[in-house]
Structure 1
Amino acid sequence: MRRRFVVYGLIGWCMEIIWTGLQSLLQRDVKLVGKTSIWMFPIYGLTVFLEPLCVKLKQRHIAFRGGVYTVCIFIIEYATGSLLKKLLGVCPWDYGKRRFSVKGLIRLDYAPAWFVAGLIFESLYHFLVKSGIHESKSSFS
């Protein structure tokens, strides 16, 4: 579980850096500078706790699975953002001035991106299982 936590954290970081780098194109910044926060590593690592959901949803339609992952990601984003604001007084992301923001912690217009991200992490999970980077539920190694 620890190894997969690290893999999910690293892949999440990479996806966020690519996402923020590509968003700079909207400002016509061809440097494509991407960024993330150290706090995001454990947040993306929490994907490991969605693995049982991946197994349960395996036979469901892709649209249903993506929708479920989107809702889960919104819940995790809202909960971790709220927790960081409570503990630190700040959150690594601030969507407060965005049109579809919910308390500055989630952006509903990001639903398509989270839909795709959820399916990417689902594919990554299945790849990790096939690769043998999948320990039994009782181990944390």
Structure 2
Amino acid sequence: MTLRFFLYGLLGWGVEILWTGLGALLHGNLLLRGSTSLWMLPIYGLAVFLEPLHDKIRPWPWAIRGILWIGVIWALEFCSGAVLRLLLGLSPWDYGRTIYSFYGLIRVDYAPAWFCLGFLFERCHDWLRQILPGN
């Protein structure tokens, strides 16, 4: 479980760096500079605890699974960001005060990204199950 926790953390870092790098391109930064925070490794690593949920919802229709992933990711995003704000006084991300933001911790307009990320998680879970069968 520890190895999978670390692998999910690394995958999350990679996806976040890709996401922020592409966001930089949209703002005219041709260096495609992406970024993340060291705090994000354990937050992304928490995906290991979602594996039983994935096993349970595996036979569900893809649209329902995707909507569930949005809710689960929003809940984890909000809770982990709120805990870090309580402990540190800030969160590694702050979406600001826009009509799309909830307390700066969740962006409603990111729902399509979280929908897709849920399926990426499912693929990674299945792949990790194959390469680390007893782990």
* TM norm. shorter chain > 0.5: yes
TM-score by length of 2: 0.96
Q: Which has the higher contact order (CA 8 A, sep 6+)?
A: 1
Question: What CA RMSD, in Å, does the superposition of the two structures yield over aligned residues?
Answer: 1.0
Q: Which runs of 4+ in 1 moved over 3 A?
A: none
| CA positional deviation for 1:58 | 0.8
| CA positional deviation for 1:134 | 4.5
Asked if structure 1 preserves the Cα contact closer than 8 Å seen for 2:70 and 2:111, the reply is yes
Asked if structure 2 preserves the Cα contact closer than 8 Å seen for 1:95 and 1:107, the reply is yes
Residue in structure 1 matched with residue 65 of structure 2 by the alignment: 65
Residue in structure 2 matched with residue 9 of structure 1 by the alignment: 9
Q: State the alpha-carbon separation in 1 of the partners of residues 74 and 32 from structure 2.
A: 26
Residue in structure 1 matched with residue 127 of structure 2 by the alignment: 127
Q: Deviations over 1:52-74 (max 9, x none)?
A: 01100111111111111111010
Q: Deviations over 1:9-68 (max 9, x none)?
A: 000000000000000111111110000000000000000010001100111111111111
> How high is the sequence identity, in percent, across the aligned residues?
48
Q: Which runs of 5+ in 2 are unaligned?
A: none
Q: State the aligned residue count.
A: 135
Judged with a 3 Å threshold, the aligned counterparts in structure 2 of structure 1 residues 130 and 39 are, in CA distance, closer, same or farther, namely same
Residues 1-141 of structure 1 correspond to what in structure 2 (within 5 A)? 1-135=1-135
Asked if structure 2 preserves the Cα contact closer than 8 Å seen for 1:3 and 1:133, the reply is no
| CA positional deviation for 1:99 | 2.5
TM-score by length of 1: 0.92
Q: State the alpha-carbon separation in 2 of the partners of residues 24 and 4 from structure 1.
A: 30
Q: State the alpha-carbon separation in 1 of the partners of residues 42 and 6 from structure 2.
A: 8
- 18-27 or 126-135, larger mean C-alpha shift: 126-135
The residue matched to 1:7 in structure 2 has which SS? helix
Judged with a 3 Å threshold, the aligned counterparts in structure 2 of structure 1 residues 3 and 23 are, in CA distance, closer, same or farther, namely same
Q: Which runs of 5+ in 1 are unaligned?
A: 136-141
| CA positional deviation for 1:133 | 4.7
Q: State the alpha-carbon separation in 2 of the partners of residues 134 and 18 from structure 1.
A: 31
